[in-house]
Amino acid sequence: MKCQYCEKPATFHITELTEPAGPKIMHLCEEHARGFLQKESDSPVASVTNALAKQLQLGQSKKELAELDQKECPVCGISFFEFRNTGRLGCPYDYSFFETDLIPLLTNIHDAIEHVGKRPRRLAASADSQAEMIQLRREMEEAVELENYERASEIRDELKRMERELSRPAADDPASADEDLSSREGENQS
């Protein structure tokens, strides 16, 4: 297939879903694709920023918006104006500080204000538990070097227990909880 603008082979096939009439499909060579993408390069951030700006301006007068833009987080110092321009908050506290202003925006964009979706099947290891496991592995190696095999086996058992805890399915997943229960019953029978 040839580029839509020249005789070179089309190596980029771009589908734009922004047209109300339907998708726009373009077949471009590398040179024309680079030009097209550079022209549209800031569009993902700009489109999110513009969407945020449009959503925030709905139902607000210029005076209200100007007052809101002056509002600053006491922790990181980001103003609501900066948030509207970048589409990014400065720190976790911003969600609490700008909560009343963000809720309508989040509701409009996501149709909800709480996360609904998949959760990890196993618990993430905290930094403390990871550090403890590393320390235990070192102690086990030292015990083996000193030929203190009884102590090494105790440490090994402790490490296995910690790893089993970390690989346990999340408690709020009923299917995983059933699997976990059946595996424990199997352990008790043997």
CA gap 19, 74 in Å, rounded: 42
User: Residue 155: how many CB atoms within 10 A of its CB?
Assistant: 20
Res 57: pLDDT: 44
Q: Which two structure tokens, joined as six digits, stand for 87?
A: 């589409």
CA gap 130, 124 in Å, rounded: 10
The vertex-78 CA angle with 75 and 82, nearest 5°, equals 170
Bridge partners of residue 72, in order along the sequence: 79
Model confidence pLDDT, tens digit, residues 59-97: 456 677 778 888 888 888 888 888 888 888 888 888 888
Q: Which of 32, 28, 25 is nearest to 1 (CA)?
A: 28
Mean pLDDT of the chain: 75
**More confident call, 174 vs 150:** 150
Res 121: pLDDT: 63
